[in-house]
Amino acid sequence: MLTVFSEKHALRDAKTELYGGELVPPFECPVRAEYVLEQLQSVKLGEVIAPQEFGLDPISRIHDTGFLNFLENCWADWQAVGYKGEAIPTVWPSRRMPQDRIPNHIEGKMGYYCLASETSISDGTWQAARASANVALTAQAAIRDGTNEAFALCRPPGHHAAGDMYGGYCFINNAAVAAQAFIDQGASRVAILDVDFHHGNGTQSIFYNRSDVMFLSLHGDPKDAFPHFLGYNDETGTGQGEGFNHNYPMGPGTNFKTWGSALDDACQKIKAYGPDALVISLGVDTFEHDPISFFKLTSDDFTRYGTTIGTLKLPTLFIMEGGYAVEEIGVNAVNVLQGYEEY
């Protein structure tokens, strides 16, 4: 299997995350990608290549230009005010406040574009996010050109990023950008299957009123898990998108029997939809020892569900999302890819 990877991911090296009322070292850290790369090379899964540069045009097909300008300049604007720490939002346009006024001051601007305060912005964040999008687009281009499967080892991840919001460690929605590229290059239908523990709220919101991209997400019940405010099973799409959004929220302690049944149902829906390409938002934070999730999948379970995905026999783009049990992230991610190749 072809893998695309960029050393520029390491430019995203924030030192602080707001967690449980404390500033702690971020769970989303550079070593995550290194562990996955090491495991890929250990099992000799296939060629690893660097990404091409695609510019902002394919990213702007998904994300608001004002939002992208904010991301590009946020760190410089934060420093210009004289703040000493990493950029963390402190105020939001909450209920009964106007939602359409973008402040000039960086403090207000951060709150306008941010969905959660755990994700700090620091030097190198924008450059790493751009590189991550290029990784996804390079792997997508390989599938467009005839490769049946590819793995975009993206970091930072992307599925929480909406058209004009960042958070949950995500800045550019790599899966959405890749899916849109398939559509722009002639695909009539694309399916995005999100197997990360956390609901892909950004991806859902981007495609919620569209029928040319089906979104399916298996995740922790938002009553108990981040991002809390999207991911319920009655969210099925609006307008032309009605019936093309499918959520599978599951509660604490979910094991593979329950999770796998949800995956089987999602795969049946994908088969019935008949997409030209399948994008997998591959988060492996469903692992039983992940520090910020409550599912109980074992390392062997990742191999099993990779095989299930393979039985769909679709051109498949795997895009790395979450996974925070760092010592096992490489094994679990690569197990999915190896299971897929076993079908």
Name the residues annotated as catalytic. Answer: 160
Distance in angstroms (rounded) separating the CA atoms of residues 326 and 30:
10
Asked if 210 contacts 180 with a C-beta cutoff of 8 angstroms, the reply is no
**Residue whose C-alpha is closest to residue 171's, from 101, 95, 236, 75:** 75
Q: Letter for the amino acid at 288?
A: E
With H, G, I as helix, E, B as strand and everything else as coil, classify residue 93: coil
Sequence-ordered list of residues with C-beta below 8 angstroms from that of 116, at least 6 positions apart, any chain = 160, 167, 168, 226, 227
Q: What is the dihedral of CA 304, 182, 162, 51, to 10 degrees?
A: 80
Q: How many secondary structure helices (H) and strands (E) does the chain include?
A: 10, 10
Neighbouring CB atoms inside 10 A of 123's CB total: 16
**Residue whose C-alpha is closest to residue 307's, from 274, 272, 267:** 267
Asked if 162 contacts 202 with a C-beta cutoff of 8 angstroms, the reply is yes
Asked if 111 contacts 91 with a C-beta cutoff of 8 angstroms, the reply is yes
